[in-house]
């Protein structure tokens, strides 16, 4: 049984350690994914916590038709939209917090994305359109297949292929602008 | 940044707070649930008619859709369980139904209590001809949720629905999948002869952007779809079509229904499935530019529901505004 589903089953039968283990496994990846919606790491962290709160309060049914990780990232995407619908008018962060936030975000990314090449790519992603960031993050950094990504982003596989094509083109242009040549794109 | 342990502590603390609050809410709800149950038990009207008021709890708009709701559509009984399609409403694009399960003996009660209902196990989806959604240019989303306030040991009620970007998918039918004690079952349901759809020509001397020409609107009491001609959404070659890089993102263009009163209601997008091949099936045009339900989302202050869905009275829609352009509606006779 893959990572996550066993722990979720344990949690549903009353063992809270199951959810603690899920949080350990997926917290950091979810924060970086949600950062592509939120733009800053603290909001992404808040939404990530909401995702786990949703799991423990609503206890949604995991059918096993997709992988647990795909299912969890789908919930995360919905939670991001819910969050922004509810908080559309709230912006209470003083401007001076942003410098500190940027350093903290960079440290976090360095910790999660250990390879220099990944870090460089991830930094380039930040300058792309949100939808491009999301599709590239899911496929390149989290290793989802096109089909999984289609499930998470609620698009058809064909739409994901089109989106990837445009996102890669945009990323390549961005990297070239910064002086990098990336043959694999 | 929190460590995973700190986040886990927060999550579990919030779970405990949620459970405590839920217990308090349950006590408050007891009176209203009892009243609803009494209505179901004591009413002299049939089950279908009683459930008719159930669905309307969440649809408080002015649109008079009650008369179009077909009730008591189909009943099936197996080993202590009776499944009844209590309500059904459809215009082809948008299908909604209420499904009522009743346990008729102890085995049925056990099955009903132990069965997981979700969109994975209980759903209605468009039965697209040959399963070819690409060819028919149809995208769809579907859902299943329970009317939990009406749940008892012997009865469970579910809302099932789907929304498709186009009502023309070659069969005019939807596939209903549902669990029964003897296994998962499916049945085909006609989606075309319930709520009527009208076609309009959309007339304006300008267009909202250079990437497409808006041409037609289909409108029913449940949904709308806007069709147009492709200019720069798709790059078409002899063998393939691909979305262009530089077109205006369709979702960025707001769409409003302008009512007779002068009020504007923002229509919700569901992402269209804009395929050039849709030309084969959509009578007039290349693209489904936008489609969605004709529902007004009114903010609500209750804790768990963020908005109330109100059906718009489509008879009172005078114009459609897309971006900065206002389109007159010119009816097309079928």
State how far residue A163 is from chain B, nearest Cα, in angstroms. Answer: 9
State whether B31 and B62 are in the same domain. Answer: no
The whole domain housing B326 covers 198-332
What residues of chain B lie within 8 A of the CB of A16, using their CB?
12
What residues of chain A lie within 8 A of the CB of B18, using their CB?
53, 57
State whether B222 and B317 are in the same domain. Answer: yes
Contact B11 A85 (CB under 8 A): no
B280 touches chain A (CB under 8 A): no
Nearest to A77 by CA among A136, A36, A126, A125: A36
Establish if A38 belongs to a structural domain.
Answer: yes
What residues of chain B lie within 8 A of the CB of A63, using their CB?
118, 120-121
How many percent of chain B have pLDDT more than 70? 67
Contact A20 B4 (CB under 8 A): yes
B5 touches chain A (CB under 8 A): yes
Establish if A183 belongs to a structural domain.
Answer: no
Establish if B35 belongs to a structural domain.
Answer: yes
CATH number (domain holding residue A20)? 1.20.140.160
State whether B181 and B271 are in the same domain. Answer: no
Contact B2 A45 (CB under 8 A): yes
What residues of chain B lie within 8 A of the CB of A10, using their CB?
none
CA-to-CA distance for B316 and B325, rounded, in angstroms?
19
State how far residue A179 is from chain B, nearest Cα, in angstroms. Answer: 23
What residues of chain B lie within 8 A of the CB of A108, using their CB?
1
State whether B93 and B18 are in the same domain. Answer: no
Establish if B50 belongs to a structural domain.
Answer: no
State whether B37 and B101 are in the same domain. Answer: no
Residue B63: is its pLDDT beyond 50?
A: yes
B116 touches chain A (CB under 8 A): yes
**End position of a domain, from candidates B190, B208, B223:** B190
Establish if B261 belongs to a structural domain.
Answer: yes
Number of folded domains that form chain A: 1
What residues of chain A lie within 8 A of the CB of B277, using their CB?
none
Establish if A125 belongs to a structural domain.
Answer: yes
b/e map A146-168, b = 16+ CB within 10 Å: bebbbbbbebbebbbebbbebbb
**End position of a domain, from candidates B190, B223, B255:** B190
How many percent of chain A have pLDDT more than 90? 11
Pick from A20, A104, A154: which is nearest to B1 by CB? A104
Establish if B49 belongs to a structural domain.
Answer: no
State whether B165 and B211 are in the same domain. Answer: no
**Residue B43 pLDDT level (bands cut at 50, 70, 90):** very low
State whether B204 and B304 are in the same domain. Answer: yes
The phi and psi torsions of A142 (rounded to 5 degrees) equal -100, -5
Contact B245 A166 (CB under 8 A): yes
State how far residue B42 is from chain A, nearest Cα, in angstroms. Answer: 33
How many percent of chain B have pLDDT more than 90? 22
Digit-coded pLDDT (tens) for A18-76: 999 999 999 999 998 888 877 778 888 999 999 999 888 888 878 777 888 988 998 88
Establish if B74 belongs to a structural domain.
Answer: yes
Establish if A10 belongs to a structural domain.
Answer: yes
**Residue B169 pLDDT level (bands cut at 50, 70, 90):** confident
State how far residue A16 is from chain B, nearest Cα, in angstroms. Answer: 8
Number of folded domains that form chain B: 3
**Residues 6 or more apart in contact with residue B334 via CB below 8 angstroms:** B199
Separation of CA B158 from chain center = 13
b/e map A54-73, b = 16+ CB within 10 Å: bbbbeeeebeeebbbbbbbb
Establish if A173 belongs to a structural domain.
Answer: yes
State whether B316 and B292 are in the same domain. Answer: yes
State how far residue A40 is from chain B, nearest Cα, in angstroms. Answer: 12
Establish if A184 belongs to a structural domain.
Answer: no
State whether B59 and B186 are in the same domain. Answer: yes
Return the residue of A nearest to B241 by Cα. A162
**Residue B101 pLDDT level (bands cut at 50, 70, 90):** very high
**Residue B144 pLDDT level (bands cut at 50, 70, 90):** confident
Q: Terminus-to-terminus CA distance in chain A, angstroms?
A: 33
**Residues A172-184: what's their mean pLDDT?**
68
**End position of a domain, from candidates B137, B170, B190:** B190
State whether B16 and B71 are in the same domain. Answer: no
Mean pLDDT of chain A, nearest integer:
78
Contact A19 B1 (CB under 8 A): no
**Residues B100-120: what's their mean pLDDT?**
92
What six digits make up the tokens of B95?
């299908």
State whether B71 and B2 are in the same domain. Answer: no
Please tell me the predicted confidence (pLDDT) of residue A42: 85
Establish if A151 belongs to a structural domain.
Answer: yes
The whole domain housing A115 covers 5-177
CATH number (domain holding residue B136)? 2.60.40
State whether B59 and B155 are in the same domain. Answer: yes
How many interface pairs between A and B have CB atoms less than 8 angstroms apart?
69
State how far residue A166 is from chain B, nearest Cα, in angstroms. Answer: 6
């Amino acid at each position: 049984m893959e990572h996550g589903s066993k722990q979720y089953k344990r949690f549903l039968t009353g063992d809270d350690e199951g959810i603690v283990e899920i949080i350990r496994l997926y917290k950091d990846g979810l924060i970086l994914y949600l950062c592509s919606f939120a733009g800053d790491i603290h909001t992404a962290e808040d939404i990530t916590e909401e995702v786990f709160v949703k799991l423990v309060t609503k206890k949604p049914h995991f059918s096993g038709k997709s992988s647990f990780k795909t299912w969890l990232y789908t919930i995360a995407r919905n939670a991001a939209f819910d969050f922004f619908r509810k908080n559309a008018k709230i912006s209470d962060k003083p401007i001076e917090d942003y410098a500190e936030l940027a350093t903290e975000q960079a440290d976090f990314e360095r910790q999660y994305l250990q390879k220099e090449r990944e870090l460089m790519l991830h930094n380039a992603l930040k300058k792309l359109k949100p939808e491009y960031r999301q599709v590239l993050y899911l496929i390149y950094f989290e290793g989802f297949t096109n089909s999984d990504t289609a499930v998470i982003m609620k698009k058809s596989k064909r739409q994901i292929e089109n989106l990837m094509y445009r996102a890669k083109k945009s990323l390549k242009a961005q990297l070239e602008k910064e002086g990098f040549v990336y043959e694999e794109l | 940044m929190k460590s995973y342990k700190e986040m886990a502590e927060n999550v579990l603390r919030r779970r405990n707070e949620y459970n405590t609050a839920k217990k308090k809410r349950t006590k408050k709800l007891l009176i209203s649930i009892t009243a609803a149950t009494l209505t179901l038990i004591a009413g002299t009207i049939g089950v279908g008619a009683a459930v008719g008021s159930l669905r309307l709890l969440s649809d408080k708009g002015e649109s008079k859709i009650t008369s179009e709701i077909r009730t008591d559509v189909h009943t099936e009984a197996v080993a202590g369980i009776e499944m009844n399609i209590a309500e059904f409403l459809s215009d082809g694009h948008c299908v909604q139904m209420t499904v009522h399960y009743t346990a008729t003996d102890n085995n049925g009660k056990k099955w009903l209590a132990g069965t997981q209902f979700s969109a994975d196990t209980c759903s209605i989806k468009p039965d697209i001809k040959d399963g070819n959604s690409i060819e028919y240019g149809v995208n769809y989303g579907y859902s299943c949720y329970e009317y939990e306030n009406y749940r008892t040991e012997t009865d469970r009620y579910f809302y099932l629905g789907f929304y498709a970007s186009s009502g023309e998918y070659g069969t005019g039918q939807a596939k209903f999948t549902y669990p029964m004690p003897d296994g998962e079952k499916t049945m085909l349901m006609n989606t075309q002869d319930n709520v009527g759809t009208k076609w309009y020509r959309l007339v304006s001397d300008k267009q909202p952007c250079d990437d497409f020409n808006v041409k037609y609107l289909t409108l029913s009491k449940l949904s709308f779809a806007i069709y147009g001609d492709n200019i720069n959404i798709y790059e078409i070659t002899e063998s393939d079509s691909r979305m262009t890089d530089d077109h205006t993102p369709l979702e960025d263009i707001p769409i409003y229904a302008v009512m007779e009163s002068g009020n504007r209601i923002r229509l919700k997008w569901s992402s269209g499935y804009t395929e050039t091949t849709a030309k084969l099936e959509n009578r007039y045009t290349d693209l489904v530019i936008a489609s969605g339900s004709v529902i007004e989302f009114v903010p609500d202050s209750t804790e768990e529901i963020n908005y109330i869905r109100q059906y718009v009275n489509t008879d009172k829609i005078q114009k459609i505004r897309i971006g900065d352009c206002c389109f007159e509606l010119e009816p097309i006779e079928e």
